[in-house]
């Protein structure tokens, strides 16, 4: 039996080491601690907040519930009296979230709503998915009384210029159609 030349053996060993390295790179979150691969942000379903759930009352019609909560993610042909609002989000830098809200109807009137636990308020929800917390510290857009008083007073235009600017110049336009 003939043995492989040393170059072939080195090439095969190098290929096996490279393939083993590829497997370990796929299982880690970053490559060599430097490069972090991009992960797609996945948002599915309808966000139902605490304020929306409190606005929905038993006896409301399906149209009224749809106006407040939006269209349900799931409507089952076999369970027409049940609407499911499911929401999931996975975002880099934020905890994954999943919620399920079930609305039951009796005919066209809403019978009950099951939130599956406490729902976040709208501001709480936005804060929980906001990954740019440090860049959101913008200064207020309104001036305080002291800042307004500290502003320089703009110069007043002379009376002749004010009177001339108040009267609009007369303009003549050519006719739109040839006569």
Domain that holds residue 96: 42-130
Assigned domain for 155 exists: no
pLDDT per residue as tens, the chain (179 positions): 456 678 877 888 777 776 666 555 444 555 566 777 777 777 788 889 999 999 999 999 999 999 999 999 877 788 889 999 998 888 777 778 888 999 999 999 999 999 988 898 888 888 877 766 555 566 677 888 999 999 998 887 666 565 655 666 677 777 777 76
**CA-closest candidate to residue 70, choices 57, 83, 80:** 83
pTM, two decimals, is: 0.53
The CATH number of the domain where 79 resides is what? 3.30.1450
Measuring CA to CA, how many Å separate 63 from each of 76, 134, 167? 17, 41, 56
pLDDT at 174: 77
> Could you give the number of structural domains in the chain?
1
| pLDDT for res 108 | 92
């Amino acid at each position: 039996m003939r043995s492989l030349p040393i170059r072939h053996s080195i090439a095969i060993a190098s290929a096996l080491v490279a393939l083993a390295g590829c497997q370990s790179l796929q299982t880690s979150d970053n490559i060599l601690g430097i490069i972090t691969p991009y992960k797609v942000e996945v948002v599915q379903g309808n966000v139902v907040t605490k304020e929306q759930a409190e606005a929905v009352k038993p006896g409301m019609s399906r149209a009224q519930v749809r106006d407040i909560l939006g269209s349900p993610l799931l409507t089952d042909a076999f369970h027409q009296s049940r609407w499911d609002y499911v929401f999931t989000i996975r975002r880099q830098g934020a905890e994954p979230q999943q919620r399920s809200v079930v609305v039951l109807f009796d005919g066209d009137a809403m019978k009950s709503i099951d939130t599956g636990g406490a729902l976040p308020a709208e501001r709480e929800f936005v804060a929980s998915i906001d990954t740019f917390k440090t860049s959101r510290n913008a200064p207020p857009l309104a001036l305080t009384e002291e800042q307004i008083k500290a502003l320089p007073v703009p110069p007043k235009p002379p009376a002749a210029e004010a009177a001339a600017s108040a009267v609009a110049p007369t303009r003549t336009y050519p006719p739109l159609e040839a006569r």
